[in-house]
Amino acid sequence: MRIALLGYGKMGKAIEAIATERKHEIAVRIDNETDWMEHIDDLRQCDVAIDFSLPDTAVSNIMKCFNLNLPVVVGTTGWYDQLETVVQDCKNRQQALFVASNFSIGMNIMFDLNRRLARLMNRYENYDVSISETHHIHKLDAPSGTAITLACDILEELERKQQWILSNDDPAPKNAIAITALREGETPGTHTVVYDSEIDTLTLRHEAKSRKGLALGALLAAEYLHDKKGFFTMRELLEE
């Protein structure tokens, strides 16, 4: 495939390295508005775009891809307050969009385990649940999209919780899931779900060792999205 990279930071370079291994061509690298204007004809020749840009530019990038009939895989987080509108626009215009808060296969297995565990723990009210996440200092949004996904999945299963809140310092209300977000060094990403009681503690944890797992997952998503129309997530990819 001919791939356009939207955002050419550390994730973009990690995707480029694995794309080359998988015999794909990185045809365009977009890192600013000037790149969009200079490479518009090249973008029309691409098969798919992969966006790891910035929260403030993600939606604009998606819409530009829709205008070019270019399928787009989006790993940028921090813009999900507009997700519902973007997905509806995708469907109305018969475009192709793949969105994931985390492309790691291991993390998506943890998502599944997290949902199953929350369903089980709904019976045991003596356990309180919290989430912590740690990322590199360059990550702009907090909490991470992955942590929010974990929290939202728990909320669907755990009746005693009605909301999540970012709670680095102040204690969370009893009906809320407290999320602690830390930014340290060059940490790729660690996410931990903890159920704690007076008797014991149960921990579910995923620790990324590098960006390679995220890059591979994004490329698998791009290969999956090729020649499709509609809105897709990692659940569809893993199920297929």
Q: Active-site residues: which are they?
A: 135, 139
Interatomic CA distance for residues 238 and 26, integer angstroms = 25
In 3D, which of 138, 130, 149 has the Cα closest to residue 211? 138
Opening angle at CA 192, ends 83 and 111, nearest 5: 50
Interatomic CA distance for residues 63 and 56, integer angstroms = 13
N residues, the chain: 240
Largest CA-CA distance found in the chain, in angstroms, rounded: 63
